[in-house]
Amino acid sequence: MRRRLGSLLVAVVVALAVVAPASLATADSTSQEVAYGTGSVLTTLVYAPVKASFCILGGVTSGFTLPFAGPRTAEKVVSSACGGTWAITPDVLKGRERVRFVGGRGAEQPTGGRTATRK
């Protein structure tokens, strides 16, 4: 059984080495990817509870906002508090993406939507 498992593992490694693209020189090494992945998980374990607490506070604040400012404002409060980045990815650690602690729909609004003009 061990011999078959070892043979299968060798076959998979050889197949991956043959199929791998030639442009791996610009890609990160496996050890770097493991390090970024580990850093991503550990950072998310710290960041996610803070973000969840902020989201809960935003929900409570939205509940207080609702009777005084209406549902649109309450929705903006909760979407700002609960939107944004929830997990720290390896791309964030590499500087390729930004962390958006406060979310909302600022850059993600569809182009066909209404504009905020008052008369």
Structure tokens at 38: 């580990």
Residue with more model confidence, 99 or 117: 99
Structure confidence by residue, pLDDT tens digits, 6-45: 554 555 454 445 445 444 545 668 999 999 999 999 999 9
pLDDT > 70? residue 113: no
pTM of the model: 0.61
DSSP state of 9: H
pLDDT score at 5:
52
Rounded Cα gap, residues 36 and 95, in angstroms: 11
pLDDT > 60? residue 52: yes
Rounded Cα gap, residues 7 and 111, in angstroms: 55
